[in-house]
Amino acid sequence: MPLSEIILVIMGLLTVSMIAAAICSHVPIPYTVFLVILGIFLGSLARHHYELNFLLDFQLSPDLVLFLFLPVLIFESAINLDARSMMKDIFPILVLAIPALIISTTIIGLGLWFLQDFNIIYALVFGALISATDPVAVIALFKELGAPSRLTTLIEGESLLNDATAIVLFNILLGISVWQQFGVFDFYVAVLEFLRVFFGGLFIGVIMALITSELLFRIKANISAYLIMSIVLAYSSFSFAEHIMHVSGVMAVVSSAITLGLVSVTRIPQKEKEAVDETWDVLSLVCNSLLFLLIGLSTDISLLISHADTIFISILLVLIARAIGVYGLVPTTIRFFNLPKVSMHERHIMWWGALKGGLAIAIVLSIPESMPERETLIYITLGVVMFSLLVNAPTIKILMNKLGFNKLTGQEEIELQHGLKESLKHSKDILQIFRKASIIPTSTKKLIQEKTSKVFQSKDFSPNNHTKSRYAHSVALRIEMKELKYLYDIGFLQYYTYMNMRVLLQRDKDTFMAEKKNTNIKQNPFVKAESMIIKQLRENDFATSILSWYQDVRFSQNLQRNIAGLLISQKVITEINNVTDIDKEFKNNVIKEYRERLKRRKIRLEYIAENYPEFYLGFEARLFEKISLIAAKIYIDEAHSSHELGTKVFSNINKRITDAIDKLPQITDPVPKLKPKDVIAMVPLLEGLSSELLEILSKSAKSVTFLQNDLVIGQDERGDSLYIITYGQVTIFRTENKDEPIAVLGPGDFFGEMALLGKHVRTANVKTDKPTMLLRLSRKQVLSMANSYPELKIRLEEAIKERKIT
């Protein structure tokens, strides 16, 4: 068929799909299911009418699904996936994606072998390809039906990961079917191959996404470049992993999309992120529409009927295997890892909602034609997929309603009342504008208001005090999240600081939604990462400059965080006062809580301004100058988009703003510094040494900076350095007695000297009480000088002897 005709048919199929979408808005059938039915109907017409035979040329093929549709559908799902929610439930997701799928493969394979006298290897091949819950079907249907967020995360996460598991397992079993033998050694080889392919794909996807994200950030890419590179990443990660590295292309796409979503998407303004989401939604809609239509076109009902008995048994085996995973492995995993329970109702949806789709068909079509049972497996696969789409899918909504998922909670009832009230208010406001302009008479206005009042009429609802309190706090959290994103969009917060605060805020939200006190607070992953970085860098001379730079950045970020926290708290207090449907008592409780936060932030900022006045003033001036320039840039971008400013004018102003931002001075070195020689001369340990020796020591010493609550050295760690405090304060304590400090040291004091006379394990922890600057002298440096300068050796031995006595 000529290319022009192919394009014409594809455009026709997309047109049919959009008409189907319009029809589906008026009938209780999911869009994707309706497309399958429509595809079956068109296929039937094509088989019986010669003039429509060209439609039969458009059949599903493995390459079409795997290389054209699947990367887009998986990438779109993964980039919008809440990765943090997924990580919270990663263990049940992994159990469903790997062990449960392997068990399902075994049950289905053994069942077909025992009941239908299938070749055991071929039966297992079918079990592998049919066990995956297809993200194409599941994600599309759950978006339409509005499943609960955690349930959606569980099913999305599982479907994304078990696609890769199914494909890898299928390829391993297909290889065994060719050789027709399998020993103990082969089992271990198969396990290693599975791990290599699965995690190899994950690794490649992460690396490619990080490179793409950093590239986009460095070149200051606009939204068009971001969209193009995200599409490039979706297809290139799959192809590179699958064909070049021979690992899982699906896992590469999943990991690249999640990584790009975490690292890069949050760096772009909210409006641009919405454009990204809309673009990927359109791409997903196009692929979904064509895929489900082609599934229908590829299905010949008459041939399926001839295999009805085997299809029926296969459906039963698939449902039984799925039930074992959902009702057996999931609750066991939840209990073992002490995670929030997955209710029985949610498990019912996970069981019945395990749909099959285009991926299973693509995999079965990739079976070599030389395989004896190929045709039978294709018809069985089509039969199970048809049952899944025509029986499971249309009844999910009915099941969800039956189980009460459509009922509103008390908090949702309050939100409904608020939404109806605000909608009615806006409706009346616009009518009032028309009335004042004498566009409509008063009588018409009253008539319309009577009708709209009925539209927004709400039933009587009296929430209890607990529900009212939760609603007040949920409103405050929404204001916080919105203001945090706004501060990032206008350039107030750096990306890392924004993500750090976002994680903390999300944790508060999760704790609030779970209705439990946050008694077991896990360490913020960003703080944990910081601690690991500092631990690796703090006693290495080669990393001194890196550590100093990093500490300057951390100090700036802490200052940013405190200013942002102050602004956010103030915003919540102001906006929640304007919310009319929160009782005064609960509103005042929230305001009191945020005023306490405001007070704490102000105290921290006053402390920084008092102790580091030059740095604070310079930082403040640079930050707000940058914000003012970014605000001007946002204005000219919008003015240019709406044609208020011409291109020449826009380019002129934009260049001025960009140049001004680039010329802003860098603010560093928040902690006051003294010359090393002067500081060393002030230390009692080294006081009175010759000027020549002090000069040599000062040149050898490394200056290191630590912020408040940083661990300088850890108990039981090996160290070889002496530290001299030049600014700040540290506390020495042992791990077993954290509340009983051994000593508090300040400027001129020193510690770690025991390490200078040999390999030594630190006997205590040293933690900073405030931003602190230290001079570090290593054992190798000092002992080298002590051998040449006896006065230094004597001084060290006397100091160590005195410290041992005390």
Residue/partner pairs of 178-184 with CB below 8 Å, 24 or more apart: 180/121
10-residue mean pLDDT series, the chain (806 residues):
83 91 81 87 86 80 84 87 80 92 94 91 92 67 65 85 89 79 66 89 94 85 86 94 91 92 71 81 89 86 88 95 94 89 90 85 85 88 91 85 78 78 88 88 88 83 80 88 86 76 74 54 54 64 64 76 90 88 86 91 84 76 84 86 87 90 69 57 68 78 81 82 83 83 83 67 86 79 77 74 61
DSSP state of 53: G
Cβ-based neighbour number of residue 536 at 10 Å: 11
Its CATH class, for the domain covering 676-805, is mainly beta
> What are 577's two structure tokens?
């006062």
**CA–CA separation, 422 vs 424, rounded Å?**
5
Q: What is the C-alpha separation between 79 and 265, in angstroms, rounded?
A: 9
- The single-letter code of the amino acid at 35 is L
Closest among 414, 418, 448 to 431, alpha carbons compared: 448
The H-assigned helical ranges of 132-269 are 135-145, 149-179, 184-218, 223-239, 249-263
Instruction: Please name the amino acid found at residue 39.
Output: G
User: Sign (positive/negative) of CA torsion 556, 558, 563, 565?
Assistant: positive
- Plot region of 491 (φ>0 → left; ψ -120 to 50 → alpha; else → beta): left
Two tokens at 588? 């005042």
CATH of span 59-289+308-375+395-402: 1.20.1530.20
d(CA 29, CA 144): 10
C-alpha span between 188 and 172 (Å, rounded): 12
Looking at residue 142, its pLDDT comes to 63
Whole-prediction pTM value? 0.72
Q: How far apart are CA 311 and CA 313, in angstroms?
A: 6
Of how many residues is the chain composed?
806
> CA-to-CA distance for 488 and 266, rounded, in angstroms?
9
- Please tell me the distance from the alpha carbon of residue 370 to that of residue 372, in angstroms, as a whole number: 6
Paired tokens of 561: 């965080």
Tell me the C-alpha distance between 324 and 330, whole Å.
Answer: 9
What pLDDT is attached to residue 771? 81
Query: Bridge-partner residues for 711, per DSSP?
Result: 767
Question: For 81, what's the count of Cα atoms within 13 Å in the CB-facing half-sphere?
Answer: 37
Structure tokens at 608: 């920084």
Kindly state the DSSP code that residue 758 receives in the 8-state scheme: S
Determine how many CB atoms are found less than 10 A away from the CB of residue 733: 18
According to DSSP, residue 753 is labeled G
